Amino acid sequence: MSTTRTSGEADTQSAILLEIFLELDAASPECVRAQLIEGEMVVTTAQAGRHEHCLSRFTKQLVRHDGFSISAHKGLILPSYGPHPDNHVIPDLTIVGRREFRGAPPWWRPDRELKMVVEATGDRPELDRTAKRRTYARGRIPLYLLIDRDRSATTLFREPSDGDYLVHHTAAFGKPVPLPAPFSFDLETTDFL
């Protein structure tokens, strides 16, 4: 007896998974974030203070540069691979041009509006290092900044292609990370310590 799933079975399972995810998302209180990443439902709650501290330090530097809008709760629908339904992710920070959030639905399929997403590692750092990195690359998000608290390093991923980023630059906390245009400034990471 074969255990290989037919295309129709995979589509049905994918549709059921997406339906369950959407029901969970609709029923979740605001402090709970439900995400669907590479066919896995991920539920997170409020983060520890060091996680939020790193994001706050990043945001403080970014707001000095006019022309960007930042969200900590923007749901993104990005392409998946294989039999999985589209990914539904909520980056720690989503950065767009000044007006791009206007009129966007809670779960948004961005086109070229997205400038960068930022993640600070939490309870499951491998999710941010691997699955989310691939998800953002598949979504053609030009820049992905990973603040890796466990490794005390910040990595900027650039040039998405074929489900991953072609270029990355890692700097230990305390060393600057050059952010390319449209940001064009060196991100100071000393405060991430």
pLDDT tens digits for 72-91? Answer: 889 999 999 888 899 999 99
Which three-class secondary structure state does DSSP give residue 51? helix
Which of 2-11, 45-54, 78-87 shows the lowest per-residue confidence on average (mean pLDDT)?
2-11
The mean pLDDT of the chain is 89
| Confidence (pLDDT) at 1 | 41
Distance CA 46, CA 9 (A): 36
- Which residues make Cβ contacts (< 8 Å) with residue 36, sequence separation at least 6? 17, 18, 21, 42, 85, 86, 87, 88, 89
| Confidence (pLDDT) at 66 | 81
Distance CA 153, CA 174 (A): 9
- Which residues make Cβ contacts (< 8 Å) with residue 37, sequence separation at least 6? 87, 88, 89, 127, 131, 132, 135
pLDDT tens digits for 107-160? Answer: 999 877 899 999 999 889 999 999 999 999 999 999 999 999 999 999 999 999
Identify the bridge partners of residue 155 per DSSP, sorted by sequence position: 146, 170
| Confidence (pLDDT) at 29 | 67
Q: For residue 32, name the pLDDT band (cuts at 50, 70, 90).
A: confident
pLDDT at 102 over 60: yes
Contacts within 8 Å (CB) and 24+ apart, 32-36: 33/73, 33/90, 34/88, 35/87, 35/88, 35/89, 35/90, 36/85, 36/86, 36/87, 36/88, 36/89
Q: Which residue has the higher pLDDT, 61 or 43?
A: 61
